[in-house]
Amino acid sequence: MVFSSIVLILFIGALVFIRFRLFQERKRNAYLISVVEERTSELELQRKQLEIKNNELEEVNRQTVSQKDQLLAQHEHLLELHEKLKEVNEQKVNFFTNISHEIRTPLTLIAGPIEVLIAEGNLSVAQEDRMMQVQQQINYLLCLVNQLLDYRKLENGSMKLETGPGEFISFSENIYQSFVFEAHSQ
């Protein structure tokens, strides 16, 4: 009987131990399930947040691509306008060059006879003064025409701009003299 009591006690002890281990395992499993569910819900929340961020980034990317396309179109348009502006400027410079040559020829043809009249000495003092003024104005116009032609050379790069001393007083005197006749006639 003692032996059966010991076996019974051992059997009951083993049952209690097994039940206790099962209880601990169930408790541990329940804890692990709650941890897994919590981690799963955190991961799901992170996935949703990443999806929202991804959608936002896709929208920003679409806007960026759209802006890039607009900028490229504007750039192309500006390049076209630049080319047209260069063409118009070239036409303008060609026009001024042609006009300058057309003006230069008659001025030179007018200057020749005036120089002859002044050199002959058959003019009165007043007539000679007026012819000198006309000659000065022709020279001034020829200078302006030459400046227009020089501008063309500067644009083409066949002439370099250089600074140098000038005669400001004689320059001012020439301008003054060009208006004296007009002032006296009024």
Spell out the residues 6+ positions from residue 101 whose beta carbon is closer than 8 angstroms to its own.
149
- SS3 per residue for 45-59: HHHHHHHHHHHHHHH
Q: What was the pLDDT predicted at 75?
A: 97
Q: Could you state, in order of their start, the residue ranges of all structural domains in the chain?
A: 2-185
Structural contact between residues 143 and 108, judged by C-beta atoms closer than 8 angstroms: no
Spell out the residues 6+ positions from residue 134 whose beta carbon is closer than 8 angstroms to its own.
114
Q: What was the pLDDT predicted at 60?
A: 96
Which runs of E-coded beta strand occur in the chain? none
Residue-wise pLDDT for 68-125, tens only, equals 999 999 999 999 999 999 999 889 888 888 888 888 889 999 999 999 988 998 989 8
What CA–CA distance (Å, rounded) separates 118 from 139?
Answer: 15
Pick 143 or 44 by higher pLDDT: 44
What CA–CA distance (Å, rounded) separates 178 from 110?
Answer: 17
Q: What was the pLDDT predicted at 71?
A: 97
Structural contact between residues 110 and 138, judged by C-beta atoms closer than 8 angstroms: yes
Question: DSSP letter at 165?
Answer: -
Is the backbone of residue 164 left (phi > 0), alpha (psi -120 to 50) or beta?
Answer: beta
